[in-house]
Structure formats: structure tokens, C-alpha cells
């Protein structure tokens, strides 16, 4: 399996695809590992040890990540630091696993009995991860699973497998038992399906497109799953918003990782009273972003993952222009490099609004009333996160009640995320929650115990 530098196109590494005998050994090893329980103190020590080792190997990790993703230096450094936080949180949570006392007083004959729950590992966790966060999202999948005492089989994205491989090797070096964490490489259509259909899998966690998420759910049936899927994330700007803050936040959150983030600001809804002012300021700000070689420190926006992804995004832009939209700045393409783009005169019915673009493109859409803005946002089949800028507490609370999403960020964009918070969506954006504490809760079983004197 060849891995290409996303800027030069050069093949710079190769990995062996998983064969059926290897898959069978992997699954047998994952099941066998659970027969030798891994105690919480050892889990915490291994996760903390991995942080130390990763910091020692930082240049190797970030260098590999930059080449296989095409992310800028700033983006890979941000991903690295976030991953360290995620692992630290997992280490802390591994020693906090506890249950609840269950009241029995409502049932006659139970007066002298005591009931409580203990949390036990769910079993073998299958983690299928995306290309756009090959370190931190992998940590969000395997970190909680290991912290909870599960064994893990990891299948990273075929386009960006090297960072995940280096992470797994580092975790093993830090003390994670070999069969408690195993990695296999291959395509989603073949290897992913083979693993999803394996009856020894106890829990599946997947981040990727909604279309593939539907396949994951179909294949897993009654099996518990956590799905973090697509979005066309909306951020709403009211007329009383701090526009300086909005411009700075959108410049970052709309274009980091070349817009290849589920929560990237795709649709920016702006109240008409300030729409022209914000358009002028955003045009200047977005126009000053430098796109190009991600290896150069001056580059703000690198390439998207493939030339096909750039072609698709460019097609949506061209289609919108044909329907009456305008390009305020950007929309230049060279191979898989798409310049940072701000679209204006956008009609909410356009496909560039309703389909996830996953590229450095922000649509500016004017609205008159909040009910109109909420209607546009809620008409999406997705519901991951939404941003909302206002100086009014009343408006902020109205947004929190009205927006059909998994998270509402007041005075921040849709792409705001602290790694310890519960994170996930509704509707076609999936279900279940990431964030170490929330994920560990889903990856453990609350076993009821009743003591009778």
C-alpha cells in the first residue's frame, strides 16, 4: 500500500496490506488479551509514558504527518499538542472508572439489600479513523478504549496510515501490551467491511462520511457504535456581534487543514445590517492567506487530500457561480491546491450550501431575522455543531434552544472544540460522543451488583 506526499505526489512509504491470515491472528490476539486484565494503574502509566516518548519523537511525528496529509506546519503542530492533551485526559480517566449506588427502597423485600454498578470493559473495540486528523482523532478512538481496559483493533485511513502506525509503535514502547493494541492496513471497502462483520468485535467507533457511516451501521446491526459523520457546519453572526472576533475566528476555523474538518465554517450566516461590512473585512483577511507548499513556514493553507477532492470542490464553486453566486476572493485551483475562497450572493438552496464541501471555501449568506437564520441552519440534514455570535444573552439562549445540533458555541465558530468536552452530532452527523470521559462511558458496561445479607 503506497503512501504519497500530498504536495509533491511522490510515493515515500509503503505498508503491507492486511491478509486474511493476519486479520485472523489479529482478532484472536485481541480476544486473548482480554483474558489477562490490564490494571488501571498500568494503563495510566502507559498512556503517560506515550506522551513523553511522542514529545521526544515530535519532529518525526509532525514531519510524517505533514507529508502524508499536506497540512501546514501550524496545523500539524496544533494537532500534535491537542493529541497530547487527549492522551493525558485518557490517562487520568483510566483511574477514575466508577459506578453508581442504585436505590432499591421502592421495592418490597429489598430493604436490606445494597445495589451498585461497576464499569467493566466492553470487549474488542474496532476503531476506523479518517485522513483529516491522523493523530488526534486516532487518540480520541484508541485512548479511551485502552483507558477503559478494552483491546483495540485500529484501521487508519488508507491515505494517511503512517502517523497512526508511529503512534501505535510508540504506545507499545510505552508499555501497552502488544495484543491490547493492534493496527491493520487496507481499504475501507475491503478490510473495513471484513472487520465490521467479525462477530468478535464488541464495539465500533468510526469517523468519516455519512455515506460510509450508514454502511457501518448496516453492517454492525445490534452492535453498539459511535459515529462521527459529515456536516455543513453553520456559524451565525448577529448585528451586535464583535466583528473583529468573527473575522479572526473565521480566518482560522474556515481554512485550517484546508477546510477539511467536519466542523469547518462552511456556511456563514450574517445579519443583513452588518453583512456588507463583514464581507469587506473577510475578503481582505481571506485574500491575505498564503496557500502553497505546506513545508514552508509562511504557508497558511496547504493542498486538499487528493486532486479529485479539489476537482469536486471546484465544481461546486463553479455550479454556484453559474446559478448567480460570486467569488469574493479565491477559487483558483492547481492540481490539489485550492486557494482560500470566500463566496458571496449565495442562495441557501445551492448545493454548495447543502453538501459538505471539505475544502477551503466559506459561503457568506445574509439573513434578516433570527427565525430565518435558524430555519436555514436547521434545514440541513446534518447537525454537528453551530457557532453563534452575539452580545445578547437572550439571543444566545434562543440559539441554544433552537439550533438542531450536538453543540452550540456562543461567540465562537462551529469549529470550536476542547478535547475534553463531549463532542458529537445529531441527524446525519451521527450519534454517540467523543471526548475521553464520554467515550469511556460508551466503551464500558455498567454491570449491576446486588448484595444480599
| Region for 70 from its dihedrals, namely left if φ exceeds 0, alpha if ψ lies in -120 to 50, beta otherwise | left
14 in catalytic set: no
Compute the distance between CA of residue 272 and CA of residue 198 in angstroms, rounded to an integer: 54
User: CA separation (Å) from 82 to 43, 70, 304, 400?
Assistant: 20, 18, 21, 26
Which one of 90, 139, 238, 262 is the catalytic residue? 262
For cell 510505552, the residue is: 174
Scan for cell 483491546, then name that residue: 151
Contacts of 30 (CB under 8 A, 6+ apart): 124, 151, 152, 153, 179, 180, 182, 200
Angle of helix 162-173 relative to helix 58-69, nearest 10 degrees, comes to: 160
CA distance 298 to 24: 47
| Opening angle at CA 189, ends 185 and 190, nearest 5 | 60
Active site (annotated) includes residue 68: no
Q: Which member of 79, 228, 434, 442 is catalytic? A: 228
CA angle at residue 11 from 69 to 22, to 5 degrees? 85
Contact 94, 43 (CB under 8 A): yes
Q: Tell which phi-psi region holds residue 358, choosing left (phi > 0), alpha (psi between -120 and 50) or beta.
A: left
How many angstroms separate the CA atoms of 271 and 370, rounded? 8
Partners of 362 in beta bridges: 342
CA–CA dist 357, 258 (Å, integer): 11
Tell me which residues are annotated as active site: 228, 262
Amino acid at each position: 500500500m503506497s503512501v504519497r506526499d500530498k504536495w509533491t505526489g511522490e510515493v515515500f512509504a509503503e505498508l503491507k496490506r492486511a491478509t486474511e491470515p493476519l486479520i485472523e491472528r489479529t482478532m484472536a490476539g485481541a480476544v486473548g488479551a482480554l483474558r489477562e486484565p490490564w490494571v488501571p494503574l498500568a494503563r495510566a502509566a502507559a498512556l503517560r509514558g506515550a506522551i513523553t516518548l511522542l514529545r521526544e519523537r515530535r519532529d518525526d511525528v509532525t514531519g510524517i504527518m505533514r507529508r502524508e496529509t499536506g497540512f501546514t506546519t501550524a496545523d500539524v503542530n496544533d494537532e500534535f499538542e491537542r493529541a497530547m492533551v487527549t492522551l493525558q485526559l485518557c490517562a487520568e480517566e483510566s483511574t477514575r472508572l466508577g459506578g453508581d449506588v442504585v436505590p432499591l427502597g421502592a421495592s418490597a423485600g429489598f430493604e436490606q439489600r445494597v445495589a451498585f454498578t461497576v464499569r467493566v470493559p466492553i470487549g474488542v473495540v474496532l476503531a476506523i479513523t479518517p485522513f483529516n486528523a491522523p493523530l488526534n482523532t486516532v487518540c480520541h478512538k484508541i485512548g479511551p478504549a485502552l483507558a477503559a481496559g478494552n483491546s483495540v483493533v485500529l484501521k487508519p485511513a488508507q491515505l494517511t496510515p503512517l502517523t497512526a502506525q508511529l503512534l501505535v509503535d510508540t504506545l507499545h514502547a510505552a508499555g501497552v501490551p502488544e495484543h491490547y493494541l493492534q493496527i491493520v492496513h487496507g481499504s475501507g471497502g475491503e478490510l473495513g467491511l471484513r472487520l465490521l462483520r467479525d462477530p468478535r468485535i464488541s464495539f465500533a467507533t468510526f469517523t468519516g462520511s455519512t455515506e460510509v457511516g450508514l454502511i457501518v451501521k448496516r453492517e454492525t446491526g445490534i452492535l453498539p457504535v459511535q459515529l462521527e459523520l459529515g456536516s455543513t457546519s453553520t456559524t451565525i453572526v448577529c448585528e451586535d456581534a464583535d466583528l473583529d472576533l468573527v473575522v479572526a475566528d473565521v480566518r482560522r476555523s474556515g481554512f485550517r487543514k484546508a477546510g477539511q474538518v467536519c466542523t469547518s465554517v462552511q456556511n456563514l450566516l450574517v445579519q443583513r445590517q452588518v453583512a456588507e461590512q463583514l464581507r469587506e473585512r473577510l475578503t481582505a483577511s481571506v485574500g491575505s492567506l498564503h496557500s502553497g507548499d505546506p513545508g514552508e513556514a509562511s504557508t497558511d493553507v496547504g493542498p486538499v487530500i487528493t486532486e479529485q477532492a479539489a476537482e469536486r470542490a471546484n465544481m461546486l464553486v463553479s455550479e454556484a457561480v453559474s446559478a448567480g453566486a460570486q467569488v469574493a476572493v479565491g477559487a483558483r485551483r492547481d492540481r490539489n491546491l485550492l486557494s482560500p475562497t470566500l463566496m458571496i450572493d449565495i442562495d441557501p438552496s445551492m448545493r454548495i450550501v447543502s453538501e459538505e464541501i471539505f475544502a477551503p471555501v466559506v459561503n457568506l449568506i445574509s439573513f434578516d431575522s433570527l427565525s430565518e437564520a435558524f430555519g436555514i441552519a436547521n434545514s440541513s440534514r446534518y447537525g454537528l455543531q453551530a457557532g453563534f455570535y452575539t452580545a445578547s444573552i437572550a439571543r444566545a439562549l434562543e440559539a441554544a434552544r433552537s439550533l438542531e445540533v450536538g453543540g452550540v458555541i456562543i461567540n465562537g465558530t462551529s469549529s470550536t472544540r476542547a478535547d475534553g468536552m463531549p463532542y458529537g452530532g445529531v441527524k446525519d452527523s451521527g450519534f454517540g460522543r467523543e471526548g475521553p470521559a464520554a467515550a469511556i462511558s460508551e466503551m464500558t458496561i455498567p454491570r449491576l451488583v446486588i448484595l444480599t445479607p
